[in-house]
Amino acid sequence: MTEPVLALDSVRKSFGALKVTDDVSLSLAPGELHALIGPNGAGKTTLVHQISGMLKPDSGAIRFRGEDITALTPEKRARRGLARTFQITSTIASLSVLENVALGVQAKAAHPLSLFRNAASDAALNRPALAALEAVGLADRADVPAGRLSHGEKRALELAMALALEPAAILLDEPLAGVGREEGERLIELLSSLKGRYAMLLVEHDMAAVFALADKVSVLVYGRVIASGDPVSVRADAGVREAYLGEEG
Ligand SMILES: Nc1ncnc2c1ncn2[C@@H]1O[C@H](COP(=O)(O)OP(=O)(O)OP(=O)(O)O)[C@@H](O)[C@H]1O
Asked if residue 218 has its Cβ within 6 Å of ligand 1, the reply is: no
| Span of 3-7, 33-37, 100-104, 190-194 with lowest mean pLDDT | 100-104
Q: Given pLDDT bands bounded at 50, 70 and 90, which one contains residue 130?
A: very high
Contacts of residue 23, defined as CB under 8 A and 6 or more positions apart, other chains included, come to: 10, 11, 12, 60, 224
The predicted model scores a pTM of: 0.90
Q: Domain spanning 6-88+169-179+196-248: which CATH class is it, in words?
A: alpha beta
Asked if residue 46 has its Cβ within 6 Å of ligand 1, the reply is: yes
Asked if residue 55 has its Cβ within 6 Å of ligand 1, the reply is: no
Write down the ipTM of this complex: 0.96
> What does the alpha-carbon distance between residue 242 and residue 247 come to, in Å, rounded to a whole number?
8
Instruction: Give the pLDDT of residue 241.
Output: 87
Q: Summarize the confidence of residues 229-241 as an average pLDDT.
A: 92
Locate the ligand 1 atom nearest the alpha carbon of residue 55 and give its number.
Answer: 1
Contacts of residue 136, defined as CB under 8 A and 6 or more positions apart, other chains included, come to: 156, 157, 159, 160, 163, 190
The DSSP annotation for 226-242 comes to: EEEE-HHHHHH-HHHII
Q: Given pLDDT bands bounded at 50, 70 and 90, which one contains residue 114?
A: very low
Ligand 1 geometric centre to CA of 203 (Å): 13
Asked if residue 52 has its Cβ within 6 Å of ligand 1, the reply is: no
| Span of 120-134, 147-161, 185-199 with lowest mean pLDDT | 120-134
Single-letter residue type at 118 = N
Ligand 1 geometric centre to CA of 200 (Å): 21
Give how far Cα 245 sits from Cα of 179, 206, 208, 220, 249, Å: 22, 12, 12, 12, 7
> What does the alpha-carbon distance between residue 127 and residue 174 come to, in Å, rounded to a whole number?
28
What residues does each domain of the chain span? 6-88+169-179+196-248
pLDDT digits over 82-92, tens only? 998 865 667 88
Asked if residue 50 has its Cβ within 6 Å of ligand 1, the reply is: no
